[in-house]
Amino acid sequence: MVLLAAAVCTRSGKALVSRQFVEMTKSRIEGLLAAFPKLMTVGRQHTFVETESVRYVYQPLDRLYMLLITTRASNILEDLETLRLFSRVIPEYCGNMEESEIQENAFHLIFAFDEIVALGYRESVNLAQIRTFVEMDSHEEKVYRAVRETQEREARTKMKEKAKELQRKRYEESKRGVKSPGFSGGSSGGFGMGGGGFGSNTGGFTTPTESITPTPDTRPSSVKPSGPNRAMKLGSKAKDVDSFVDQLKSEGERVVSPSEPANKLAPLSTPQVDVEPVHIVMAEDVVVRAGRDGGLQNMEVQGILKLRITDSDHGYIKVQVDNTESRPIQLQTHPNVDRELWKSCCQIGMKMSNRPFPANTDVGVLKWRFQTTDESHVPLSINCWPQDNGAGGCDVNIEYNLENTEMELNEVTITIPLASGAPPPVINDCEGEHEYDRAHCALVWRIPIIDKTAPTAAMDFTARGVPDNFFPVRVCFSSSRLYCNLKVLGVVSTSDGAPVTYSQETQLKTTLYEID
C-alpha cells in the first residue's frame, strides 16, 4: 500500500490533525480533505469511498472521522488494518473525542503517526511498541549533557587549584623578599620586550598600554643602599603568612601545603583498556529523584551497547549477550539488527548476513530502559536530617547507605547546599573528606569508594540557615558495574562460528541524583 496522508477531521471536513507521508503541497492536501464530506452519501455502509485519483478510508469517532488517503492501487485489506491501528492510537493520547482534546495533543498524535507509517509504507509495529517509541527519551542527548557537565566541573576544579597554586607561590616569593615577575609591569630589563619571554609581544602578564622602553631614570640601580633597609619585610616573620592561612582555613578554604599532594581530592582515574579490533562499550545513565521525607519520585536507568570495529575484516560477527535481569526492563535493538536472532538466542547480528557492521564508528546496537517508583531499587539512599538549634542555625546529620551491596560506587560526591551568604559550616564529625565550595555556597562530601565492606557512613555539621536551605542534596558517582544484569559472553564469526578476540568497557554514571 501507498498511504498519502492521515488526518483527524470533523464531519464538515475541517482538519484537526493532518500528516502527509509523501511529497504533497498544502493546497493539494487541503483540497482532498475538503472534498471528502461531499463524497459521503446518506445510509452508506462502506468505510471507504473512491475518486478518480485517490481512495478515502475512514472510521467514525463520535463526531469526528479518522481518515486515511491512499492511492486507488492500494490493497483495501491492508488499508483497513492500518485504519484500525490509527483509530486505536487516538484514545491513547486523547481521553475525549473532542476538537480541543485533539488539538491539545496534536504533536503526540503526529509522533505516533510517524511510527506507524514511513515514506508511505506501514511499519511492522503494534500499539505497545508505538507507545514505547514515542515515550522513549533521547539517550544521546543525556550522554552529551552529562559529558558537558563533567567537563565544566573539572574545569572549575582545575581553575580553583591553579588559583591556589599561584597564591601560594606569591606568598612564598613575598616571604623570601622577591617580587613576582608576573606583576612587574614590564619595566625591568630582564622581563621587557625581547628579554625573558614575558613581555608584551609574547602573551605574558605585561599590560600592553604601559611603556616598556627603558630610560636612564627607570633602570634599576645596581648599587645597594648603605643604610639599614626597613622595607620589604613581608617574609621576615612566618607568623604573618601562617595567620593568613589560618584565616583561610577558618573560612572553609582548603589550602594545599608544599608537602601535601595537590591532587589529594582529585577523582580517581579510569583504568585504561587495551582496545582490540572489536571493542564493546556498555554504558548506563542513572536518574533518581527522591523526597527528603522518604519515598522515590522516579528512577530511570537507560543503557546502550555500542560496537566499534577498527578492522573491516572483523565486521562479520555476532555478539552473545547474557540477560539475567529479573526486573521488567525494556529492550530495543537497532533496526538493522536481526530481531528474530535476538529473540531466539540473545545474539546481536546484522539483519542482512552479507553485510558487515560499519567500521571505525561507534554503533549503538542495543538499548535498554528501566523505570520504577519502588524505592527498594535505589542503589544508594541518602538521609539528610537538619534540625533547628534555636540559635539561627541548624544541626545537620546526613548519612548514606548502599542498598545494592553487589555494586561498587566510585568517586562519590554528595553536595549539600547552604544558605546564601552564610559563613562556612562547622564540621563536627565526618567519615571521608569534605570541602567548602565558597563559589556555589555548598558543602561537598567526597567518598572515594562505597562497597559492601563499608556500605554506610555519616557526617554531622552545624551551619546557619533553616532546614529548607539544605535541599536539594545532589549525588554523583560512577561504577564499573552495570545496574541491569546484562553482560557480553563472547563474540563469534558469522562465517565459521570461531571465537573473535574483543575488548570491553562497562560504565555507569549518574545524570541526575537528587533528594529534594
Domain locations along the chain: 3-134, 136-180+237-258, 278-375+483-515, 380-479
If pLDDT is split at 50, 70 and 90, which confidence band does 116 have?
A: confident
Q: How confident is the model at residue 121 (pLDDT cuts 50, 70, 90)?
A: confident
With vertex at residue 165, the alpha carbon angle to CA 159 and CA 168, rounded to the nearest 5 degrees, is 140
Question: Which CATH code is given to the segment(s) 380-479?
Answer: 2.60.40.1170
Q: What percent of the chain has pLDDT over 70?
A: 79
| CATH fold group of domain 3-134 | Beta-Lactamase (3.30.450)
pLDDT at 348 (0 to 100)? 94
Question: Residue 341 half-sphere exposure, CB side, CA atoms within 13 Å?
Answer: 19
Beta carbons within 10 angstroms of residue 94's beta carbon: 22
CA pair distance 294, 396, nearest whole angstrom:
17
The average pLDDT across 292-321 equals 91
Helix (H, G, I), strand (E, B) or coil at 211: coil
User: What pLDDT, on the 0 to 100 scale, is given for residue 396?
Assistant: 94
- Based on its alpha-carbon atoms, the radius of gyration of the chain, rounded to whole angstroms, reads 34
The reported pLDDT for the residue numbered 138 is 66
User: 138 or 204: whose pLDDT is higher?
Assistant: 138
Determine how β-strand 362-372 pairs with β-strand 393-402: unpaired
Residue 150, Cβ density class (10 Å: 0-12 exposed, 13-18 middle, ≥19 buried): middle
Instruction: Give the DSSP per-residue string, 242-254.
Output: HHHHHHHHHTT--
Of 44-48, 168-172, 216-220, 355-359, highest mean pLDDT:
355-359
For 371-400, what is the mean pLDDT?
A: 92
State the pLDDT at residue 185.
Answer: 40
Q: In degrees rounded to 5, what are phi and psi of residue 464?
A: -80, 140
Please give the grid coordinates belonging to residue 190: 630582564
Helix or strand holding residue 86 (H, E): helix 76-93
Q: Is the pLDDT of residue 478 over 90?
A: yes
pLDDT the model gives residue 198 = 37
Match domain 278-375+483-515 to its CATH number in 3.40.50.300, 3.90.550.10, 2.60.120.10, 2.60.40.1170: 2.60.40.1170
CB atoms within 10 A of CB 128: 8
Nearest in space to 507 (alpha carbons), one of 476, 482, 477: 482
pLDDT averaged over every residue in the chain: 80
Q: What is the CA 28 to chain-centroid distance, rounded?
A: 43
Do the domains at 278-375+483-515 and 380-479 have one common CATH topology?
yes
Mean pLDDT of 316-333: 92
pLDDT higher than threshold 70 for residue 344: yes
